[in-house]
Amino acid sequence: MAHMHIYTHTVLEFLSEETKTIESNCSEMKILGEQRKTLFLLCFIAVCGAVAKENRKGGRPNGGKYHRAISKTIQTEDGDIFDCIDIKSQPALDHPLLRNHSIQMEPSSHPIGLDGNSIPDTTLESSIHLVSCPLGTIPIWRSEQHYPIVDIKELTQQIYTRNITRNNKNNTASLAGLSRGQDIYGTTVSINVYDPEVYGTQDKSGGLTTIISGYSFDREHTNAVGVGWFVWQSNGGDKAARFHIFYDNGQKQCFDLKCPGFIHTSPNIPLGGKLSPISKYDGPQAHMNMFVYQDTNSNWWVKFGKESTVVGYWPGELFGYLKSKGTVGYWGGLVEGPTIKYKPPPMGSGHPASEGDGKAAYVKNIKIVTRDHQLVTPMSREFDVAVENPKCYSVAHKSDQDGGVHANWGGSGDCTL
């Protein structure tokens, strides 16, 4: 395999307030080999979460419309509050492209090979604290913040030609994981869950998978969907690892139900819910099992856990390029925030990838959905190692395993970008 040099091309910076338009700079990862191939990764992820004005814990429900639709309020043992609202009154249906959308409770199709294609796994499963909303309703998390509309007005790119092994003091995001620059219609993955110490309240650190389309030829209107876990204090009011989803349709980028788009169908699985158990360094390990794929109606579905329980979907009407397919996938870690350029936080377990399973975070059991709706196991040679700041973070042990592709990722972050 040709020696690869990774270059940084854009910078992620994200500023927002409640009710204000968000302007951002995006990042691009370019990999050069014998055949010049550009992989466009993660430019939207770091900017998806708006930093809104704080609201007191247990404050008022999320807007008048949703308040009227609340049928039940649930407070969990760990203090989280969820409002059960009528499924037909959820934020997604406020999107102008979804005004006439009929909610689909189940996918129109399922990938061939999904059932009976997994192998026994003795690793603990990190799951969400379930809630019991009535049928016909969905849970909405009352987080520390109001739920702002995240509107991307301007996508500005700053291109750099220096090798990433040199310091880039403007960086506000770093990633370490695997990328695959081929057509993709879905993926399954097991993502190791930790709760790394994040220094700034607006910074976040997590593990995720994302599917991107359109960036190679229309950078202003990139489409992407993704799922994962994040430690993100300004969003949740604590330092717990929580389950999040996010999307970008070229005009909006947002997490969970903070703006219209994602149609939530599960009455029991809350977006933003705390994950448990959490992995311990050199101790018991836990991971979350995720499945994201496109059905025959062009909708992108999210399923959670070993049982592949449906959480909801992004309707195909939201997207231009993702309506047909994804072109790049990413599996691994991400850190982002305003303090990262001078004090990068830990990623994953906080230990380098070279330490391997049990000590470094991992992604494993990676499988791919093909154009003909087959769930297949790709070869590890199809994946590139994507590390934006190798002084801080690393990827190791990329390999083919019985359940799918595997790799370790992470780092202490105790470094200078």
Give me the pLDDT at residue 68, please: 60
Give me the pLDDT at residue 45, please: 47
Give me the pLDDT at residue 76, please: 87
Place of tokens 């020696």: 3
> Using one digit for the tens of pLDDT, what is the confidence trace for 128-145?
888 999 999 999 988 755
Quote the CA–CA distance of 108 and 207 in Å, as a whole number: 29
pTM over 0.75: yes
Give me the pLDDT at residue 178, please: 95
Give me the pLDDT at residue 339, please: 77
Quote the CA–CA distance of 42 and 267 in Å, as a whole number: 30
Residue 28, both tokens: 């691009």
Quote the CA–CA distance of 398 and 82 in Å, as a whole number: 39
Residue 343, both tokens: 């004090």
- Name the residue among 348, 362, 343 with its Cα closest to residue 416: 343
Strands 22-26 and 81-86: unpaired
Residue 163 vs residues 316, 334, 390: alpha-carbon distances, Å: 38, 20, 11
Burial 110-123 (b: 16+ CB within 10 A, else e): bbebbeeebeeeeb
- E strand map for 299-359: 300-304, 309-314, 328-336
Peptide bond into 107 cis (omega under 30): no
Residue 23, both tokens: 């302007």
Quote the CA–CA distance of 161 and 296 in Å, as a whole number: 41
Do 362 and 162 touch, CB atoms closer than 8 A? no
Residue 24 vs residues 83, 150, 159, 282: alpha-carbon distances, Å: 31, 11, 14, 39
Residue 73, phi then psi, degrees to nearest 5: -120, 130
Give me the pLDDT at residue 417, please: 60
User: Other CB atoms closer than 10 Å to residue 282's CB: what's the count?
Assistant: 10
Residues in the chain: 417
**HSE of 22, CA atoms in CB hemisphere, 13 A:** 27
Contacts of 380 (CB under 8 A, 6+ apart): 398, 399, 400, 405, 406, 407
Give me the pLDDT at residue 171, please: 57
Give me the pLDDT at residue 44, please: 47
Give me the pLDDT at residue 319, please: 93
Quote the CA–CA distance of 17 and 148 in Å, as a whole number: 8
What are the average pLDDT values for consecutive 10-residue runs of the chain, which has 417 residues?
A: 32 28 34 38 44 36 61 88 93 90 94 64 85 94 53 26 38 84 96 92 89 77 90 82 90 82 95 94 96 96 93 95 92 86 90 97 97 96 91 95 96 80
Contacts of 217 (CB under 8 A, 6+ apart): none
Give me the pLDDT at residue 109, please: 93
Give me the pLDDT at residue 56, please: 32
Could you give the dihedral angle defined by the CA atoms of residues 227, 21, 320 and 11, in that order, rounded to the nearest 10 degrees?
Answer: -70
